[in-house]
Amino acid sequence: MSSGDQRLPLTVITGYLGAGKTTLVNHLLRHADGRRIMVLVNDFGDIAIDADLIESQEGDTLILANGCICCSMGGDLFYALSDALDRQPRPDHLLIEASGVADPTRISEIARAEPELRLDGTIALLDALGFAGLVDDAQIGSSVVRQIAAADLIVVSKSDLQSPDALSELKVQVAALAPTARQIEASFGRVPLEVLLGSLSSAEVDEIPQGCANRDHAGHDHAHHDHTEDHEDLYSRWSLSRDCIFGQQALAEVLKDLPAGLLRLKGFVKLDGRWALVQAVGGRVEIESLPRVPDHIKHTTLVAIGLKGQMDTAELDRLFSR
């Protein structure tokens, strides 16, 4: 958010070797959309940043033409994070590409502990073709299971190469490991930025028509996005802007019932005499008290993105008019 929250949002990207982390990171950097994303990678052996994105290199740091930065952690997360927080100007979003076997909670817990960081989410990638074999691997299985269990969003790559039957079996298996996480199928890392990174620019907030509930506004203008991928029509959006006041308890109840296909929900909710910042990624919901909101926010304002056909926008309307 543009104001009210100065914390640096942190997203952890986890997944075993070959699951598509590098592709996803490249996709994100290519579609950073003006955000200065800083990516920390375990080492440069894990990640190959597309050469055309790179402007210059300073030691272990790659400077990208669009203002993004990519740094090697060299196995030392503590200093990489400290340096990221101390960097001037501070990046808009921090992305950590964990090693193929790291326990992502060891990284995400830092974001929960550090007052200047905000955990934006843990995204796990899994390879639809290789996953079943990995889970059963005596040496790797437990690491892979831990990654999936820690995730808020699970991006299933190479799903187009897997048979429909095997794919639905896989989904059941993954859902059992991560009951509250949301699964997204994607080829070549093509997932919209707003799904991967929850932070919402003020421009996006401005776009929300004030005063009425909106559903699935297909004509929504994303001119400032580079959403040219054909996978864009896999997602639907919903937003709400309404002059209404929620009770704290009522809000918590509503957020417990979010529809299954919802990937992210974010916005400001007017409570009695104060504001709450609401952020949901996958099944994880955070409600935080805010001292103030950006000037242009006049009343309860929420946006959501979900999987088309799975996020029931009518259900969202009903929930928030309760």
Q: How far is the CB of 102 from other proteins (least distance, A)?
A: 8
59-87: buried (b, 16+ CB within 10 Å) or exposed (e) per residue?
A: eeebebebbbbbbbbeeebeebbeebbeb
Determine which residue in the list 101, 145, 167, 287 makes contact with other proteins, applying CB under 8 A: 101
Q: How far is the CB of 17 from other proteins (least distance, A)?
A: 5
Considering only residues 130-189, where is the footprint of other proteins by CB under 8 A? Answer: 139-140, 142-143
| DSSP per-residue string spanning 198-258 | ----HHHHHHSPTTSEEE--TT---TTS---SGGGGGEEEEEEEE---B-HHHHHHHHHT-
By DSSP bridging, strand 117-127 and strand 284-290 are unpaired
Stretch that binds other proteins, among 50-58, 67-75, 253-261, 267-275 (CB under 8 A): 67-75
Determine which residue in the list 115, 179, 219, 309 makes contact with other proteins, applying CB under 8 A: 115
Q: Does 72 bind other proteins (CB under 8 A)?
A: yes
Report the chain's terminal Cα–Cα distance, integer Å.
26
Determine which residue in the list 102, 124, 135, 205 makes contact with other proteins, applying CB under 8 A: 102
Name which of 218, 208, 184 is nearest 27 in CA terms: 184
Structure tokens given for 10: 């942190």
Determine which residue in the list 53, 54, 63, 77 makes contact with other proteins, applying CB under 8 A: 77
**144 near 132, Cβ under 8 Å?**
no
Determine which residue in the list 2, 61, 105, 201 makes contact with other proteins, applying CB under 8 A: 105
Q: Does 16 bind other proteins (CB under 8 A)?
A: yes
Determine which residue in the list 2, 36, 44, 145 makes contact with other proteins, applying CB under 8 A: 44
* CB-nearer residue toward other proteins: 71 or 170: 71
Q: Does 78 bind other proteins (CB under 8 A)?
A: yes
Determine which residue in the list 50, 60, 207, 315 makes contact with other proteins, applying CB under 8 A: 60
* CB-nearer residue toward other proteins: 78 or 295: 78
* CB-nearer residue toward other proteins: 89 or 115: 115
| DSSP per-residue string spanning 125-166 | EEETTTHHHHHT-TTTHHHHHHHHHH-SEEEEETGGGS-HHH
Task: Give the separation between CA 63 and CA 54, rounded to whole angstroms.
Answer: 6
Name which of 91, 105, 118, 92 is nearest 279 in CA terms: 118
Q: Around 173, how many Cα atoms within 13 Å sit in the side-chain half-sphere? A: 17
Q: Does 43 bind other proteins (CB under 8 A)?
A: yes
Task: Give the separation between CA 271 and CA 214, rounded to whole angstroms.
Answer: 21
Determine which residue in the list 103, 207, 286, 315 makes contact with other proteins, applying CB under 8 A: 103
Q: How far is the CB of 175 from other proteins (least distance, A)?
A: 23
Q: Does 248 bind other proteins (CB under 8 A)?
A: no
**37 near 91, Cβ under 8 Å?**
yes
Q: How far is the CB of 109 from other proteins (least distance, A)?
A: 4
* CB-nearer residue toward other proteins: 85 or 319: 85
Beta bridge partners of 60: none
Q: Does 99 bind other proteins (CB under 8 A)?
A: yes
Chain contacts with other proteins (rule: CB under 8 A): 16-17, 42-45, 60, 72, 74-79, 81-82, 85, 99-103, 105-107, 109-110, 112-115, 139-140, 142-143
